[in-house]
Structure 1
Amino acid sequence: MSSKVPTVRQTNWISTIPHLVIMGIIILIWHQFNQEKAFLFGAITYLAISISLRNLIPKDHRNGIRNNNAEKFKDAIPDFEKSYAFFKKHEWIDKYRFITLLSSSKMSYQEMALANIGFCYSQIGDGIQSKKYYERTLKEFPESGLAKSALKMINAMEKNASKDHM
């Protein structure tokens, strides 16, 4: 099902190397039991582990994405706040997500959560909160292209709005 809400996915391609190593190890383990179908069983096992990790650990984030895609922006905000709090508390999971979650995302879950909260506030018409969260995203993640772009857009709109009132 496609969504009307824009989604940004950036991949850290270098992190696919550990994924291939992990898959190779799983295939070697299966090779000890069944040489003929080791590759198939290894790939299926890797896929099952990958899907399980991404569905179980960042469940609040996934709920937020689900609500966001359903355009339930007010409902998505608490989910993203819970996601941020979880990954802030367990920063090592987020930092090493290429192994702990088998995720090749360039953005951390913390950065995604803050930017998504900013996006949700913009969609419900709360520009002040939206700007606050994008600024917070940039404060914590100075290289966040998503937050930089959003703030440029907000600042341009504010500038145009102030011109209109003159």
Structure 2
Amino acid sequence: MILKNLITVLLHFGIAIGLIIISGHWVLGLYFYLFIIFLFFRMIPRKHVKGIQHLYNNEFDKAYNDFEKSYKLFDKYKFIDKFGFIFLLSMSDYTYRESALLNQAFICNKIGNKKEAEKLYEKILSINPKNRIARKVIESKK
């Protein structure tokens, strides 16, 4: 994990410095850097971001659908999800697929659909057997 975070920080630094050098002016380089970060953090995982916004507003149906779409996108492009610390400049412990499923399981628990939540936690463990949240939930059920 430390290596992933180090790579991500170095990529951020390298992109920023590279853009400053290429643009010839630090303000223009900073503008390009912020544009790239916006693109990586907001545009590619936009359904995931929308799902979080809906979850924050207690709009569980909309959030569940957005997380489902996010999961499908990152399931289709697994290499982007697996190497998100490079492509998306993400420092999270969890992939977007895991995060989408965790959020869907949370929603299922919140609305009382415990069996669906347990299936989702099992699916998370099939993606990443080291997922601490899913493992704790499954172990607490036994």
Q: Which whole-Å CA distance do the structure 1 matches of 2:94 and 2:30 have between them?
A: 26
Kindly state the Cα deviation for residue 150 of structure 1 after the two structures are TM-superposed: 2.8
Aligned identity (percent) is 34
Larger Rg: 1
* 8 Å contact kept, 1:19–1:98: no
Equivalent residue number for residue 140 of structure 1: 127
Give the TM-score normalised by the residue count of structure 1: 0.75
Kindly state the Cα deviation for residue 25 of structure 1 after the two structures are TM-superposed: 1.0
Kindly state the Cα deviation for residue 83 of structure 1 after the two structures are TM-superposed: 0.7
Q: Which whole-Å CA distance do the structure 2 matches of 1:45 and 1:118 have between them?
A: 37
* Structure 1 outlier segments of 4+, above 6 Å: none
* 8 Å contact kept, 2:5–2:85: no
- Equivalent position SS for 2:120: helix
Equivalent residue number for residue 13 of structure 1: 5
Equivalent residue number for residue 22 of structure 2: 29
From 105, 108, 113, the equivalent of 2:100 is 113
Q: Normalized per residue, which structure has more helix?
A: 2
Please show how residues 33-48 of structure 1 align to structure 2 within 5 Å.
Answer: 34=25, 38=26, 40-48=27-35
Q: How many residues align?
A: 138
RMSD: 1.7
Equivalent residue number for residue 88 of structure 2: 101
Q: Which whole-Å CA distance do the structure 2 matches of 1:28 and 1:98 have between them?
A: 23
* 8 Å contact kept, 2:51–2:67: yes
Alignment of 1:74 with 2:61, yes or no, is yes
In the alignment, structure 2 segments of 5+ residues that lack a partner are: none
In the alignment, structure 1 segments of 5+ residues that lack a partner are: 1-11, 160-166
* 8 Å contact kept, 1:98–1:104: yes
